[in-house]
Amino acid sequence: MDNMHGTTIIGIHRKGKTALCGDGQVSLGDTVVKAKALKIRRIFEDKVITGFAGATADAFTLLEKFEEKLKVNKGNLKKAAVDLAKEWRQDKYLRRLEAMLIAGDKSGILMISGVGDVMEPDDGLIAIGSGGNYALAAARALMRNTKLSEETIVMEAMKTASEICVYTNDQFTLEVL
């Protein structure tokens, strides 16, 4: 069976505001199987926004675990992310999950991976997925214009990624805190 490809998620945290944008394409090999998947979600009483790349069922499992960690840690994004990364890496079942997450709230934005990484970007920008590097490069260029809103930066970056990456479409979901 062909590997699942696709997804571009980009996030920005700047001036106490966080915006995440993702595309809707799900591909199996060289075939688009879904064009309007929702890969950006609000969790923890709508106080945290998340985006995922990778196997959908795996990502939903991780989102549930992450929300549990947020509850245990009283909404502390960094502590919940570290706890999830530890469990993800150490648990026999979880470590087989193939997905990555971006999570943000009003305090910051993080990327969480199954190899134990929790990364907070220096410049407030983070991206994952097949078109992530394209979106990240575009967003960095757009940030040079400080008058652009966070929403505009991530949407325009996604447009650029969708024009370059064949696994990224222009059916975007945007969430802002």
Query: Which residue in this structure is represented by tokens 């571009």?
Result: 8
Q: Which listed residue (7, 8, 50, 173) is catalytic?
A: 7
Query: Which residue in this structure is represented by tokens 């966080």?
Result: 18
Q: Please report the beta strands in the chain, taking only residues with DSSP state E, as ranges in sequence order.
A: 4-5, 8-14, 17-22, 26-28, 31-34, 40-43, 48-54, 99-105, 108-113, 118-119, 125-129, 173-176
Q: Decide if 18 is catalytic.
A: no
Question: What residues act catalytically?
Answer: 7
